[in-house]
Structure 1
């Protein structure tokens, strides 16, 4: 009976480096699939916009908007900074009657 002449080898450093690089790339790519957008308001708050002007604020859930502010129209509420509705409301607002108007230049 002959002994096996097979020798156990340790993986080379380049193979370990390649495996580590692959694992790192996988983690980074999967992290990019999560939303990293900034919310308009913190939890327990909702966004409101300035009437007849630009700007907005966040109000505690269950509270009414302060004087000079209004709730966004249903279905047109921005959720994240630079989302579709946030960009829209940078150039539009509500007048004192709740009608959507374009913000005059310079405001």
Structure 2
């Protein structure tokens, strides 16, 4: 192998290794987003309830009714995962004693 061919071959090997390392880094950085972990509001066999007049919430067994001072969320507006659309919504809204959606008093 000529001296020129030897250097050309070594240069390609370095370029190939650098390209492979760069591709691996890109997958590592973006691949995590595809497998993002989302925490459920309640465990399996439970449903979330909202405190009347406040932004507090709790989880209740599927076999039980909400405890005193809590109500079920309106259909279609139930938070399912921490940080989802409805979880964030209920940080600034609440339900009054009649089940009407109102602005939360502490939503400053």
TM-score (norm 2): 0.71
Residue deviations 1:2-56, cap 9 Å, x none? xxx7xxx788355334313313422432331234333222232221100122210
Who is 2:63 aligned against? 62
| 1:1-107 alignment, distance < 5 Å | 12=13, 15-105=16-106
Who is 2:4 aligned against? none
Larger helix percent = 2
TM-score (norm 1): 0.71
Find the aligned partners of 1:19 and 1:29 in 2 and give their Cα distance. Answer: 16
**Displacement of 1:73:** 0.3
CA RMSD of aligned residues (A): 3.0
Aligned length in residues: 103
Point out where structure 1 has 5 or more consecutive residues left out of the alignment.
none
**Displacement of 1:67:** 1.4
Point out where structure 2 has 5 or more consecutive residues left out of the alignment.
2-8
